[in-house]
């Protein structure tokens, strides 16, 4: 126990924070906050869930997905903060960089589920929604669309509905005809 009342539990292997079946470091603070660090060989690492979990007495929960010490997640947001009022902030990261190919990489949602703010990133660089849409469509074998066509589609179709887009979608066909031929490399 620390002088301030914090209780720390640690698991080591070969002198490094390491545990295969649970968090390698757990800290319990006097105010009721509990923080878990899942580590392998001294690095935050967990395959099947968040490697960093913080639970605060007010109900706030913070989760971070790490792979080999780097904030990283392939199938969802890598950093999530849920506040007691229902506000949720998500950061989608790949190899520690803000990155998402099917929506905004940083999103803050109000308690009612509506979006407060969002930011779009590819490979750590802030971009426009249309650039992310271009990357998204390219990964789905869509024909090249001009930058203006992508901008218009991104304005007309909410990102939550991008999965419905295909070469036969009326808006894709319309904007490809109005603004023909790719003049950018989406990605």
Give the count of beta carbons closer than 10 Å to the beta carbon of residue 82. Answer: 16
pLDDT in tens, 127-185: 999 899 888 888 777 767 888 888 888 888 888 888 888 878 888 888 778 877 644 44
Give the count of beta carbons closer than 10 Å to the beta carbon of residue 170. Answer: 7
Domain-located, residue 163 = yes
pLDDT in tens, 92-134: 999 999 999 999 999 999 999 899 999 999 999 999 998 998 8
Domain-located, residue 56 = no
Residue 150 is inside which H or E element, if any?
helix 147-156
> What's the domain count of the chain?
1
- Cβ-contact 105, 99 below 8 angstroms: yes
Q: Give all strands (DSSP E) within 131-187, no chain letters.
A: none
Domain-located, residue 160 = yes
**pTM score above 0.85:** no
Dihedral angle sign, alpha carbons of residues 147, 98, 68, 18: negative
Domain-located, residue 153 = yes
Structural domain harbouring 186:
128-187
- Cβ-contact 63, 76 below 8 angstroms: no
């Amino acid at each position: 126990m620390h002088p301030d009342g914090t209780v720390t539990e640690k698991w080591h292997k070969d002198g490094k924070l390491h545990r295969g079946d649970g968090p390698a470091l757990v800290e319990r603070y006097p105010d009721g906050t509990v923080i878990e660090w899942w580590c392998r060989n001294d690095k935050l690492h967990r395959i099947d869930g968040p490697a960093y979990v913080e639970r605060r007495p007010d109900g706030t929960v913070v989760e971070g997905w790490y792979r080999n010490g780097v904030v990283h997640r392939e199938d969802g947001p890598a950093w999530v903060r849920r506040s007691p009022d229902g506000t949720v902030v998500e950061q989608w990261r790949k190899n520690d960089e803000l990155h998402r190919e099917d929506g905004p990489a940083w999103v803050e949602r109000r308690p009612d589920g509506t979006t407060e703010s969002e930011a779009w990133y590819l490979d750590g660089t802030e971009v426009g929604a249309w650039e992310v849409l271009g990357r998204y469509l390219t990964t789905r074998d869509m024909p090249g669309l001009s930058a203006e066509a992508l901008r218009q589609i991104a304005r007309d179709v909410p990102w939550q509905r991008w999965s419905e887009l295909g070469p036969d979608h009326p808006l894709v066909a319309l904007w490809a005809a109005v603004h023909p031929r790719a003049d950018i490399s989406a990605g």
